[in-house]
Amino acid sequence: MNRIVRDDGFHPDDLEHGEFLTLERLEAGVEAPVLLQLEPDADPSDLPRHFAWISGIRIHFPNFTDGRGFSLAARLRQLGYGGRLGAFGHLIADQYSQARRSGFDEVVINELMAARQPESQWLAKSGWRQRSYQAHILRSA
Amino acid sequence: MARRFTPKIITTNDLLEGDVIYLTADGSWTRRFSDAKLFLEQAEAEAALARIETRQDIHVGAYLADAETGIDGRPQPVHFREQFRATGPSNYFHGKQAETGDVQVQ
Amino acid sequence: MYRYSEFDDAFVRARVAEFRDQVNRRINGSLTEEEFKPLRLKNGLYLQLHAYMLRVAIPYGTLDSRQMHQLAHIAEVWDKGYGHFTTRQNIQFNWPKLADVPDMLEALADVSMHAIQTSGNCIRNVTADHFAGAADDEIEDPRPTAELLRQWSTDHPEFQYLPRKFKIAVSGSPNDRAVTRAHDIGIRAVRGKGDETGYEILVGGGLGRTPMIGKVIRSFLPKDDLLPYMEAILRVYNLSGRRDNKYKARIKILVHETGLDELKDQIETEFTARRRVFPGVNQRLLESLNAHFAPPEFVDAESSEYELRRTRDPLFRTWCDTNLNRHRDPNLAIVTISLKPVAGTPGDATADQMRTIADLAKSFAHDEIRVSHEQNIILPHVPKAFLPRIHDRLKRSGLATANIGLISDIIACPGMDYCALATARSIPIAQEISQRFDELRLERKIGPLKIKISGCINACGHHHVGHIGILGLDRAGVENYQITLGGDATETAAIGKRPGPGFSAEELIPALERLLDAYLTIRLSGNETFLQCYRRLGDQPFKTALYPDSARKAA
Ligand code: SF4
């Protein structure tokens, strides 16, 4: 069973049985709000016209050293996406702060990771708001 | 044609100390190249490597390195990289040469 | 000098605590080695050939005496009493133990220092001209810009897991002492049409397996646009840089494969969007940072003692002629302290030497110290009157070698004496060269010459941009050294060319002797440097000198 990690700890994955569409499927046209799954090489520039049809997006991290998902999330937020945004795949607790600061709301991890890096290790990163040089720069100017 | 297997030892770096260690015949670790177990059979060497690779709590980055038997009947390095790892840097008397008395054969 | 704000201090301390926790989690199995490795690298910790190695940042090469004293302290408590200054304005400790590293980082935090992002696939320690704030040719001090970039790049959430490492250098002078053309991004202060200063932005420079000189992607970037422009470049690189082959993952390959114009379009599009986030931010921050780097108040000290000593003491005179640079204030000099004694290890300093340097800076040089990418130490603001006393003290500590810019002022990476990636040693080669040409008493006759040595294709020793570059390789289990000629690290940057096959360690020094003999014979006069001579004549005469046998055969 997957866990969703948020600032207040672990939660069951309410979307575990949800159907996530690929970008191609979405672009082919849908009739009700859908969930979208993006690979890290997705080009989101055309996505804004579909935003109304998207109830949630998850970005795939094939490996924790592949940081494209962080930029993709930031780009989605820059394009005006205000909905639910999650990261899934191989992410470690030490990346929680970067994920949140790039625009993700939550990180989805599998059972093995949740066992190896239990809730306390993720909660230790929940203070991500306090220590951001980028926010500090914008504040101090 | 498959390359003939040349004798090997198993070496890695200690997780906490960071220094070079070698697998011995009784499955423990030594800091001297000459005390390492010399593997003459490929299958045996690879099985031993696979076994110790799971011990991430002890070491980092184990691999097989070429070795040969010296005149004292003990294993010694073949490649210069392993020679340096076994002894220490050449610009200062630091590392293994100072700690175990193994000196550079150069 | 930049003084940490409360935010900076809290940040580095929290980071130390985080790393302490990460070390514990590695030991208790919560983190695998695969996961721990990028985390420790981002905190400067490598696992090398014989031990862990901690690489500490000296942002834009600037230190004060208190910080230098602390480096000496760290070297003694947790290392073997010395440190190694690198080609990227860092200092490396070669022998720490894993469990001690958090304490070392804590000791650094006590003096407003850190090891953050000195390694790993992220934006590395930002480097700058080591004469910043003192050079007489400066358009502006590059350090406020470098500090702004340090803050912006530190734990930037998007750019911690880039395809590969990313290096930025800043220069404030037309004379490029920061090798900006060999960096992923080079930033050069330039004057615009209305005399306002802005930046020229170079992208895609780098050494390594595929050496490339950076290309101008913006000839004039207004200062206010710096951060959004950097974010645009990094975001395009992060999303499109290659991740399938680590030798093709640097931005230089992306520039090469995408084409500069196409890439520029992508960056400009991203920039337009990013710009909205930073209205007026750079300008205001740079203004407040400028105050941190205001020059000290220089006093008009009497310099007759200096003049007198010059006439009386030939050793002192030689040292002055070689190791001093012109300061923008005529009463002062920029002193370069050589870390290249004959037969020594380039860039190494003992704890005692660090303390001597710290004390000299404090007593005589406005408490400022710089570290150069050429692995020397600089006192940027020295009233000339104090030079005799400084020279005396340096002599006693083995720091008065008068060889800056000469053949024994060699850049050498640690090579296979320490580095796990090395294919051959570089330190002993540097030692032999300096010893041999000292014996021959040829150093001064040969004049300005930059020899740069790397122990593998990663080129940390900048061999491609050495007038003579030396690359150590492993040829069938034997160390072999490839020579390149005609490289240049300055504003006239060039990648050296390989004249022919490599040499064994034994053949190398005689080959260099033949090469330099040939140069001394064919140069127009004592004023024509090796590089000028090479540029005038091309590599043919040097090839003949290096490979006399094949020259004879061809004849
Ligand atoms: S050039 Fe190679 S050997 Fe030298 S320090 Fe860099 S990686 Fe190590």
Written as six digits, the tokens of C503 are 């040499």
Residue segments in chain C with a per-residue pLDDT below the cut of 50: none
Whether C477 contacts chain A with CB within 8 A: no
The CATH label, of 3.40.50.720, 3.60.10.10, 3.30.413.10, 3.40.50.700, for the domain at C411-554 is 3.30.413.10
A25 and chain C: CB distance < 8 Å anywhere? no
Ligand 1 atom nearest C420 alpha carbon: 8
Q: Map residue B62 onto helix, strand or coil.
A: strand
The CA distance from C413 to C459, in Å, is 8
pLDDT at A99: 98
Say which CATH number the domain at A124 has.
Answer: 3.40.50
pLDDT at A27: 86
Token digits of residue C60: 């834009």
Residue to probe by mutation, ligand 1, list C87, C458, C462, C484, most atoms within 8 Å of CB: C458
Q: Exposed, middle or buried: residue C308 (CB in 10 Å: 0-12, 13-18, 19+)? A: exposed
Chain A CB within 8 Å of residue C266 CB: no
pLDDT of residue A33: 87
The per-residue pLDDT for B102 is 64
CA distance to partner chain C, nearest, from residue B85 (Å): 6
Chain A residues closer than 8 Å to C274 by CB: 78
Domains C309-396 and C411-554 share a fold: no
Choose between C550 and A134: higher pLDDT. A134
Ligand 1 pocket, residue C520 CB under 6 Å: no
Question: Quick one: which of C221, C373, C227 has its CA closest to C289?
Answer: C227
Domain chopping of chain B, boundaries: 8-92
Beta strands in A7-135 (DSSP E): 9-12, 20-21, 34-38, 54-61, 85-89, 106-109
Rounded CA separation B17/B34 (Å): 20
CB C354 within 8 A of CB C83: yes
**Of C379, C344, C375, nearest in space to C358 by CA:** C379
Residue B103 has pLDDT above 80, yes or no: no
Whose CA is closest to A34, among A52, A16, A60?
Answer: A52
The label of the residue with tokens 């220069």 reads: C171
pLDDT computed for residue B46 by the predictor = 96
Closest Cα to residue C2, out of C382, C359, C298, C290? C290
Query: C547: Cβ–Cβ under 8 A, 6 or more apart, which residues?
Result: C499, C500, C501
CB-CB under 8 Å, C51 with B84: no
pLDDT (0 to 100) of residue C466: 97
| More confident position, A76 or C277 | A76
Q: What is the pLDDT of residue B2?
A: 59
Q: Rounded to the nearest 5°, which phi and psi values hold at B57?
A: -80, -10
- Residue B49: is its pLDDT beyond 70? yes
| CA A59 from centroid of its chain's CA atoms | 6
Phi-psi bin for C193: left (phi > 0), alpha (psi -120 to 50), beta? alpha
Domain limits, chain C: 6-109, 142-292, 309-396, 411-554
Q: How far is the CA of C488 from the centre of ligand 1 (A)?
A: 20
Q: Is C471 in the pocket of ligand 1 (CB under 6 A)?
A: no
What is the longest distance spanned by two Cα atoms in chain A?
A: 46
- A65 CA to chain C: closest CA distance, Å? 6
**Whether ipTM exceeds 0.95:** yes
Domain interval for residue A120:
2-140
The rounded percent of chain B whose pLDDT value lies above 70 is: 92
At residue C104, the pLDDT reads: 98
Distance (angstroms) between ligand 1 centre and the Cα of A128 equals 35
Q: How many domains does chain A have?
A: 1
* Closest alpha carbon within chain C to A139: C281
C470 lines ligand 1 (CB under 6 A): no
Q: Which residues of C40-53 are buried (b: 16+ CB within 10 A; e: fewer)?
A: bbbbbbbbbbbbbb
Which residues does residue C221 pair with via DSSP β-bridges, in sequence order? Answer: C199
Looking at this protein, which amino acid is placed at residue C149? L
In this prediction, residue A1 carries a pLDDT of: 86
Question: What's the CA gap between A134 and A103, in Å, rounded?
Answer: 13
Task: Give contacts of C345 with chain B, Cβ < 8 Å.
Answer: 91-92
User: Which pLDDT value is given to residue B105?
Assistant: 45
Average pLDDT, chain A: 95
Handedness of CA C67, C73, C75, C81 (dihedral sign): positive
C222: closest CA among C186, C261, C191?
A: C191
Encode pLDDT of C392-411 as tens digits. Answer: 999 999 999 999 999 999 99
pLDDT at A131 exceeding the cut of 50: yes
With CB atoms and an 8 Å threshold, state whether A98 touches C155. Answer: yes
The topology under which CATH files domain C309-396 is Sulfite Reductase Hemoprotein; domain 2 (3.90.480)
Under CATH, what is the fold of the domain C6-109?
Answer: Sulfite Reductase Hemoprotein; domain 2 (3.90.480)
Closest atom, ligand 1, to C-alpha of C456: 2
Q: Give the pLDDT score at B104.
A: 47
Q: Quick one: C142-292 is in which CATH superfamily?
A: Sulfite Reductase Hemoprotein, domain 1 (3.30.413.10)
**Percentage with pLDDT > 90 across chain A:** 85
User: Which residue in B13, B57, B89 is closest to C47 by CB distance?
Assistant: B13
